[in-house]
Structure 1
Amino acid sequence: MTSAPDIRHLPNDGGVEIAFAGRSNAGKSSALNTLTKHKNLARTSKTPGRTQLINLFELEPGKRLVDLPGYGYAQVPLEMKLKWQKSLAEYLQRRESLKGLVILMDIRHPLKETDMNMLEWSSHRELPVMLLLTKADKLSPGPRNTQVIKVRQAVANLGPQIQVEAFSSLNQIGLEKLAQTLTGWYLAGEAAEGTIDAEQDAD
């Protein structure tokens, strides 16, 4: 649909949006491409930090996927990094159509400080979160399952709205669970919008 530097350049704040966020080397673009079965939907790069704008993709009318600027790792000037962080924070705090957040972390290096900040903010807003531990193909099944359990235990105190799953764009580990979760969020968001519209009509 569009690429915007901040929320003031986004379309009207209606419908249902599900956003993807993560550190700049977490494999966010690859996950979006795997999910949508579009090889070049979100541009991938060997240089982390290429997503510098808020990118909106419309699945069907009123249902959008949002690719947020990566946070953390990117080798960019501090001024630019602060600008990204501001636009990211504005979107997360003010966008009413945001109904779910997918946070991606490398399964080998999860729960960095910036990741925890995102999870705590999401908990404060009571926003459903799917925490994807990406690059799961890098670990054999035993260590992979152990890491998933450890992360689930680490975030348990933030509330029941956080779901933790292993994910691999390469081997499509966790893809079905991701698709099912997002479908549920879109349906719940639509139902909530319908309730609000009905209440406004009654008034």
Structure 2
Amino acid sequence: MSKSEIQSFLARMRACELCRQAEKPLPHAPNPVFQMAPTARILVAGQAPGNLANQTTKTFNDPSGVRLRDWMGIDDDIFYDARKVAVLPMGFCFPGYAPSGGDLPPRKECAPHWRQKALDYLPNIEVTLLIGGYAQAWHLKDRYQGSVTRTVEHWQDYAPSVFPVPHPSWRNNAWLKKHPWFETDLLPELRAAIGRALSSSAAES
């Protein structure tokens, strides 16, 4: 794949306005937020950008992102280096708020049109984080356990190349307290896998 081909594809994704044609369009102007480069060794497959990410056009630019980077054992410089870490949500744009106050689900238009095409431009991924049920169901297909909890409980079935995790939002604090094995067992393996992927990337640079 040529550099111009990649740049053209990324420009088309950033200019995406598929949701404008939907029966229920976004409550704001489309603003795709993601990062990727063909050299990336780590893929963060999230749900959709939050409001702060939408305002700053910087993915996981919020307290959830701070926790996520702690889970991964990396700092901001590494996380926001698209040459190392690709961040590709299931929906590219902030979907707006639900009546309950949480974010709405990812837009349904994004994944069918863009996801596999984008993954094809990421041939070097060694470790994939699947954040939340939407990413887990899409990527794992029939290996998805039907819920985030059951899928994360079976994380050893997917490691060391794939790690299903809950969303790092404060809304999941109770879940984390209820499942202490997530921090004691899963996170060390995740950090080790990410360390190996980054080391192999550095060795080739």
TM-score bracket for this pair, using the shorter chain length: 0.3 to 0.5
Higher share of residues assigned helix: 2
Higher share of residues assigned strand: 1
**TM-score normalised over the length of structure 2:** 0.44
